[in-house]
């Protein structure tokens, strides 16, 4: 009998059905010589400080270096929020897996084929102190064909020891840094809990730095001149290359240009450019595109893609590659034929040439654990709106990747009036190529590459306009000249798409050119973890979503202010770690050596954080409005009475607005706040109201008289 351990029940059912192991038992399926069971995510995880006998936050215990690390069943918060207890569902499933393993001779590992999937199985294996041999099922798709092929090519478990070593090292390094840094800063902050982490803190630093740059930016007015021309029945405009700060000076220049009435063509450049077809999506690129086009969060995209994968409609989503291996190329025409049976895709497919597909996506060297995202041969049915939107994006991207390049003729013309230069840049499409797939012929302002620039106005934008035949020396009549008043723009607040790009390209912000060169393509976090990092920052109340932007809260800015000059917020350090973990996976670096380095780093940051002098917020002593006995506990998320019999509580975040200390004081002492503006109703509309305590001590809104 062989045990098979999948990551989720839905995947276990797919595998069991294929193997005719259809007899249902408690927590597993049996038949045909197999017992198929499943994990429920991370069932076993690293123990917490209390598991090593360290209770509470104790300065003398820091830094904490477990040796060895203990594995415990997954924990959940106790109902009274005081400490943690084992998760009953995890304890039960671990017992079931032990029972399955005990009655089998060997194990087939069928958790997700990646770093996290490997860690999920190995932690279960070691927690149960199992010694039985195991093989690895490594697949990128849950289609029947892919699973069958995977079972024919089962690999020895030892082939993935490097992957496990990297996953285990990452897990232990995150524990060492996260637990010690969190406790050190919380002790320095007089027991206010401030969670810090290896990836979350540099990511928070990115968001806060951008927010502060945005807030501190001083807008400046400047002026440009736009000219209108007409030739051969075509109207077009040119814009001054220069900009002026003084309005009067610009008006004088405008008048002299109007008097001149004509512009002389100085330079004409006409080039044919090839716009390369895009590659397949990797997870980060899919998340960025879906955030820009559909407004979905990175986590929503990951969960939706995971659901499509488990329903067998797409390949494994947690991929960091945009390429496919050469041996998969033969299957691509079949995927296109399948899509061609769906009416929606027929017009797009009619624009690409069978037998002459673009092979740019094929590159064995650039395929990591998994290849770029593909649809499967299973035609989707019964999809949610989100699933359909993500599936369509992946399907259309495949078709775009297979298409020819888009060919454009780009014209750049420079005119002169006196010594003032004016430019116009236009383009016309000669061959649509991949742009015919969705019919989007221009990315006009869609992906502004200059978000970080305060002056992105120097670039004369390329527009899809056809210009008349113009040659050097031609004189063009000016039909109209206009003064344009413009304003310099601050750096844009991060959307999730922009933040994912910043995390992916974190190496580029490093000033040390040698270090930058070494880690240019190593970001912070991995494609599989970046969404969870953003969600962690949201759940910690360090950031909030405001429209499409990610904005730090008061608490987030306070943490940033405390740690921005400390090593824990250093992007370079985090990016270097990702590079080291990659080397551990490939067997090029010893994990013990790396953990020794992490312990040294942990000692440094613990010392740095404990030495911080933190100004404690002046929190007033307020009596509970209900029992009138206890002083209220005021946290960043809630205000509550410590008496469990009384149990009075009020959330600090009301309709998207965080109640300040003054507003809380007013609510408790006067039973009414001042007027709170810009609260957001469920329908998205903003409103202003007072928050008032009723006689039963519950809070209600009171609206101002208009």
Catalytic residues: 316
Rounded to 10 degrees, the C-alpha dihedral 530/307/372/392 comes to: -110
- Rounded to the nearest 5°, which phi and psi values hold at 185? -70, -35
Rg (CA), the chain: 30
What are the distances in angstroms from CA 584 to CA 8, 24, 581, 686? 28, 40, 5, 51
**Gap between the Cα atoms of 236 and 229, Å rounded:** 6
563 close to 196: Cβ distance less than 8 angstroms: yes
| Neighbouring C-beta atoms of residue 644, cutoff 10 Å | 8
Q: Is 206 helix (H, G, I), strand (E, B) or coil?
A: helix
Q: What is the separation, in whole angstroms, between the first and last Cα of the chain?
A: 77
**Gap between the Cα atoms of 34 and 123, Å rounded:** 22
What are the distances in angstroms from CA 96 to CA 8, 27, 36, 119? 14, 6, 11, 19
**Gap between the Cα atoms of 182 and 196, Å rounded:** 5
Q: Is the peptide bond before 68 cis (omega within 30 degrees of 0)?
A: yes
**Gap between the Cα atoms of 279 and 445, Å rounded:** 21
**Gap between the Cα atoms of 38 and 11, Å rounded:** 8
Going by C-alpha positions, the residue among 219, 224, 269, 228 that lies closest to residue 242 is: 224
**Gap between the Cα atoms of 82 and 217, Å rounded:** 44
Tokens of 702: 């009171």
**Gap between the Cα atoms of 552 and 560, Å rounded:** 9
**Gap between the Cα atoms of 279 and 372, Å rounded:** 8
């Amino acid at each position: 009998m062989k045990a098979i351990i999948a990551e989720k029940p839905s995947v276990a059912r797919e595998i069991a059905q294929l193997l005719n192991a259809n007899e249902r038992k408690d927590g597993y399926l049996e038949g045909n010589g197999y017992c198929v069971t499943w994990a429920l995510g991370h069932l076993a995880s690293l123990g917490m400080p209390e598991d090593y006998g360290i209770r509470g936050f104790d300065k003398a215990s820091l830094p904490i270096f477990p040796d060895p690390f203990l594995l415990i069943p997954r924990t959940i918060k106790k109902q009274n929020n005081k400490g943690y207890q084992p998760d009953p569902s995890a304890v039960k499933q671990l017992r079931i897996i032990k029972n399955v393993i005990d009655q089998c001779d060997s194990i087939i590992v069928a958790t997700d084929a990646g770093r996290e999937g490997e860690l999920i199985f190995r932690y279960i294996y070691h927690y149960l102190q199992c010694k039985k041999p195991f093989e690895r099922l490594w697949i990128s798709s849950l289609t029947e064909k892919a699973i069958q092929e995977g079972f024919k090519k089962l690999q020895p478990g030892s082939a993935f020891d490097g992957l496990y070593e990297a996953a285990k090292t990452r897990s232990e390094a995150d524990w060492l840094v996260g637990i010690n840094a969190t406790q050190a800063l919380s002790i320095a902050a007089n027991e206010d809990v401030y969670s810090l982490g290896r990836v979350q803190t540099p990511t928070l630093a990115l968001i806060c730095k951008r927010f502060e740059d945005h807030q501190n930016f001083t807008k400046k007015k400047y002026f440009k001149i736009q000219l209108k021309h007409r030739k051969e029945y075509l109207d077009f405009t040119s814009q001054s290359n220069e900009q002026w700060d003084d309005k009067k000076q610009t008006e004088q220049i405008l008048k002299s240009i109007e008097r001149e009435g004509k512009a002389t063509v100085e330079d004409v450049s006409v080039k044919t450019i090839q716009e390369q077809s895009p590659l397949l999506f990797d997870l980060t690129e899919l998340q960025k595109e879906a955030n820009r086009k559909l407004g979905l969060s990175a986590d929503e995209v990951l969960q939706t893609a995971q659901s499509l994968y488990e329903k067998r409609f797409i390949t494994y989503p947690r991929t960091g590659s945009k390429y496919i291996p050469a041996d998969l190329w033969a299957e691509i025409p079949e995927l296109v034929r399948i899509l061609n049976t769906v009416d929606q895709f027929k017009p797009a497919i009619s624009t690409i040439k069978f037998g002459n597909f673009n092979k740019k996506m094929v590159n064995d060297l650039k395929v990591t654990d998994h290849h770029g995202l593909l649809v499967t041969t299973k035609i989707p049915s019964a999809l949610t709106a989100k699933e359909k939107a993500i599936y369509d994006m992946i399907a259309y991207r495949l078709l775009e990747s297979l298409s020819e390049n888009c060919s454009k003729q780009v014209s750049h013309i420079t005119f002169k009036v006196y010594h003032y230069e004016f430019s116009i840049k236009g383009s016309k499409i000669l061959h649509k190529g991949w742009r015919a797939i969705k019919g989007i012929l221009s990315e006009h302002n869609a992906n502004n590459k200059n978000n970080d620039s305060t002056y992105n106005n120097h670039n004369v934008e390329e527009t899809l306009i056809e210009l008349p035949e113009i040659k050097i020396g031609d004189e063009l009549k000016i039909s109209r000249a206009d003064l344009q008043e413009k304003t310099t723009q601050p750096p844009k607040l991060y959307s999730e798409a922009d933040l994912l790009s910043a995390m992916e390209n974190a190496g580029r912000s490093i000033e040390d050119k040698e270090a930058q060169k070494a880690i240019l393509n190593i970001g912070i976090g991995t494609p599989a973890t970046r969404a969870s990092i953003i969600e962690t920052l949201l759940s910690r109340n360090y950031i909030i979503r405001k429209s499409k932007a990610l904005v730090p809260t008061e608490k987030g800015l306070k943490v940033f202010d405390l740690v921005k000059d400390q090593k824990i917020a250093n992007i370079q350090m985090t990016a270097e770690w990702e590079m080291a973990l990659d080397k551990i996976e490939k067997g090029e670096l010893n994990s013990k050596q790396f953990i020794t380095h992490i312990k040294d780093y942990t000692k440094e940051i613990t010392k740095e954080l404990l030495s911080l002098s933190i100004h404690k917020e002046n929190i007033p002593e307020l009596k509970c409005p209900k029992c009138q006995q206890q002083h209220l506990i005021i946290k960043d998320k809630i205000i509550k009475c410590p008496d469990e019999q009384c149990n009075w509580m009020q959330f600090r975040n009301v309709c998207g607005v965080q109640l300040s200390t003054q507003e809380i004081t007013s609510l408790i002492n006067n039973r009414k706040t001042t007027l709170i503006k810009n609260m957001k109703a469920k329908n998205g509309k903003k409103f202003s109201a007072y928050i008032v305590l009723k006689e039963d001590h519950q809070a209600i809104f009171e609206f101002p008289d208009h």
